Amino acid sequence: MTIDPTREQAVIADLLAQTPTDAEHLLPLLLQVQAAVGFVSPQAIRQVAQAFNLSRAEVYGVVTFYHDLREAPVGDHVIQLCMAEACQAVGCRELAAHASQKLGVPLGETTADGHVHLEAGYCFGNCALGPTVRIGDRIVGGVTPARFDELLETLPGRHGNTRPVAGESAA
């Protein structure tokens, strides 16, 4: 997942134009940058810090604190496996082992082709219907290894389609 720096700058400038720049709007803005660009680059930090009249260190501190904010791009699709207790009780550790083997990467890494980033999540509030998996804003319950494989097959771009680029229109 990459984005042209000029385009990134324009996307962020657009977002900045629509937000007040009191400190209380910093995290919401950074979450928007993350959603639009896929990560928060050093360039983005510089741009945001200037707009909010904060030091780069302050913004960097916020970026590194929150798990949702990434400093570097990851795969086209982020798949989060809930690894918290309620899902542990119904086999999420076994599911994680299967997923890692199937994709050839441990939790926290991206497949070599950049298609899937696999990682742990901690609770999607679906604790009576685990194991639970999150893909984008979709929460899926009762995920067996076989169901996981089906979910993988439904991801767009799996079979050589053009990969969607974050920040660009999917169309």
Partner 1 sequence: MTRIFVPNDTGARSVGADEVAAALMNAQVVQSGLATIVRNGSRGAYWLEPLVEIDTPSGRIGFANVTVDDVAGLFADGLPDQTHAKCLGVVDALPWFAGQTRLTFARVGRIDPLSLSDYRALGGFAGLERGCTMDAKAIVDEVTVSGLRGRGGAAFPAGIKWNTVRNANAPQKYIVCNADEGDSGTFADRLLMEADPFQLIEGMTIAALAVGATRGFVYLRSEYPHAAQIFGRALTIAREAGVLGPSVLGTAHTFDITLRMGGGAYICGEETALLESLEGKRGTVRPKPPLPALTGLFGCPTVINNVLTFAAATDVLARGAHAYAGLGVDRSTGTMPFQLGGNMQRGGVVELGFGVTLRDLLERFGGGSYSGRPLRAIQVGGPLGAYLPASQWDTPLTYEHFAAIGAMLGHGGIVAFDDTVDMAAQAEFAMAFCAHESCGKCTPCRIGSTRGVEVIQRLRRRENPRLQWQVLEELCETMEFGSLCALGGLTPMPVRSVMKHFSADLLPSAGGGSVTVEVGR
**Closest to partner 1 by CB, 7 or 101:** 101
Q: Which residues contact 87 (CB under 8 A, 6 or more apart)?
A: 81, 127, 130, 131, 132
90-119: contacts with partner 1 (CB under 8 A): 90, 93, 96, 106-108, 119
Other residues' Cβ atoms within 10 Å of the Cβ of residue 10: 12
Taking the complex as a whole, the smallest distance from the CB of residue 6 to partner 1 amounts, in Å, to 27
Query: Which of the stretches 3-11, 41-49, 124-132, 160-168 binds partner 1 when contact is defined by CB under 8 A?
Result: 124-132
Whose tokens are 């590194």? That residue is 64
Among 9, 36, 46, 84, binds partner 1 (CB under 8 A): 84
For residue 13 the two structure tokens come to 């400038």
Query: Which of the stretches 7-15, 41-49, 85-93, 163-171 binds partner 1 when contact is defined by CB under 8 A?
Result: 85-93
Among 18, 57, 125, 170, binds partner 1 (CB under 8 A): 125
Q: Shortest CA distance to 91 belongs to which of 116, 99, 67? A: 99
Q: Is 122 in the site for partner 1 (CB under 8 A)?
A: yes
Query: Which of the stretches 9-17, 42-50, 129-137, 151-159 binds partner 1 when contact is defined by CB under 8 A?
Result: 129-137
For 19, how many CA atoms within 13 A lie in the half-sphere containing its CB?
21
Among 56, 102, 134, 163, binds partner 1 (CB under 8 A): 134
SS (H, E, C) 44-73: HHHHHHHHHCCCHHHHHHHHHHCCCCCCCC
Type of residue numbered 1: M
Given the rule CB under 8 A, which residues bind partner 1? 22-28, 30-31, 61-62, 65-69, 82-90, 93, 96, 106-108, 119-130, 132, 134, 137, 139-142
